Amino acid sequence: MLGKREYLLKLEYNLMLGGGRWVADFKESFWNFSFNEVIFEMMICGGMRPKGFALSRLASTLLMPNYQAACFAYPDDPGLKRLPGVLKAVQRYMKDKEIKWSWVVVPCESAFSPQARASVEKNEVRDLGIALVNLQTQEITSSRSYIGRRMARFVNTFK
Amino acid sequence: MKKYTSFQATNFVKSFTLFFFGLTFLWAAGNYIAIRDVLISWPIFIVNLILSAALGWWHYRQRYHLVFSYDDDSFILQVGKKILANRWAEFTAVSLFHPGHGDLFVRLYQKNGSFVEIPASLIKLNPSEFRFEVMAFVEKAAGRKGRI
What local confidence, expressed as pLDDT, does residue A2 receive?
Answer: 85
What local confidence, expressed as pLDDT, does residue A57 receive?
Answer: 81
- Mean pLDDT on A67-81: 92
* A29:B148 CB<8 A: no
What local confidence, expressed as pLDDT, does residue B102 receive?
Answer: 87
**Domain ranges (residues) in chain B:** 2-63, 67-142
Position B148 pLDDT exceeds 80 = no
Q: Where are the alpha helices (H) located in B9-121, listed in sequence order?
A: 9-35, 42-63
The Cα B127–Cα A14 span in angstroms is: 15
What local confidence, expressed as pLDDT, does residue B145 receive?
Answer: 46
* A26:B131 CB<8 A: no
Please check whether residue A91 is in contact with residue A112, taking contact to mean a CB–CB distance below 8 angstroms: no
Please check whether residue B106 is in contact with residue B128, taking contact to mean a CB–CB distance below 8 angstroms: no
DSSP secondary structure letter of residue B37: S
Using one digit for the tens of pLDDT, what is the confidence trace for B79-124? 999 999 999 999 999 999 999 888 999 999 999 999 999 999 999 9
Q: What is the mean pLDDT of chain A?
A: 91
Model confidence at A30, pLDDT cuts 50, 70, 90, reads very high
Model confidence at B12, pLDDT cuts 50, 70, 90, reads very high
Bridge partner list, B3: B69
Position A146 pLDDT exceeds 50 = yes
Q: What is the mean pLDDT of chain B?
A: 93
Q: Where are the alpha helices (H) located in chain A, listed in sequence order?
A: 4-16, 55-63, 83-97, 114-122, 146-155
- Mean pLDDT on A129-136: 94
* A32:B95 CB<8 A: no
B67-142 under CATH 2.30.29.30, yes or no: yes
Please check whether residue A109 is in contact with residue A135, taking contact to mean a CB–CB distance below 8 angstroms: yes
Which has more confidence, B101 or A133?
Answer: A133
Best interface-test mutation with B: which of A11, A21, A27, A51 has the largest number of B CBs within 10 A? A27
The Cα B90–Cα A152 span in angstroms is: 39
**CB-nearest partner of B96 from A29, A32, A39:** A29
What local confidence, expressed as pLDDT, does residue B89 receive?
Answer: 94
Position A44 pLDDT exceeds 60 = yes
- Mean pLDDT on A137-148: 91
Q: What is the ipTM of this complex?
A: 0.90
The Cα B84–Cα A102 span in angstroms is: 36
Q: Which of B48, B68, B54, B46 has its CA nearest to residue B15?
A: B54
**CB-nearest partner of A17 from B102, B131, B148:** B102
Please check whether residue A148 is in contact with residue A123, taking contact to mean a CB–CB distance below 8 angstroms: yes
What local confidence, expressed as pLDDT, does residue A89 receive?
Answer: 95
Question: From the CA of B30, how many Å to the nearest CA of chain A?
Answer: 35
* B148:A17 CB<8 A: no
Please report, as a single letter, which amino acid is at residue B79: V
* B146:A30 CB<8 A: no
Position A19 pLDDT exceeds 90 = no
Model confidence at B146, pLDDT cuts 50, 70, 90, reads very low
What local confidence, expressed as pLDDT, does residue B123 receive?
Answer: 93
Q: What are the chain A neighbours of B97 within 8 Å (beta carbons)? A: 27-29
Instruction: Give this prediction's pTM.
Output: 0.87
What local confidence, expressed as pLDDT, does residue B1 receive?
Answer: 87
What local confidence, expressed as pLDDT, does residue B82 receive?
Answer: 95
Position B32 pLDDT exceeds 60 = yes
Q: Quick check: B109 contacting A, CB < 8 Å?
A: no
Position A64 pLDDT exceeds 90 = no
Q: Quick check: B135 contacting A, CB < 8 Å?
A: yes
What local confidence, expressed as pLDDT, does residue B144 receive?
Answer: 54
Please report, as a single letter, which amino acid is at residue B136: A
Residue B94 CB neighbour total at 10 angstroms: 25
What local confidence, expressed as pLDDT, does residue B14 receive?
Answer: 96
* A28:B107 CB<8 A: yes
Query: Could you tell me which chain B residue has the CA closest to the CA of A27?
Result: B98
What local confidence, expressed as pLDDT, does residue B25 receive?
Answer: 97
Alpha-carbon torsion (A55, B10, A12, B148), positive or negative: negative
Q: What are the chain B neighbours of A16 within 8 Å (beta carbons)? A: 96, 98, 104
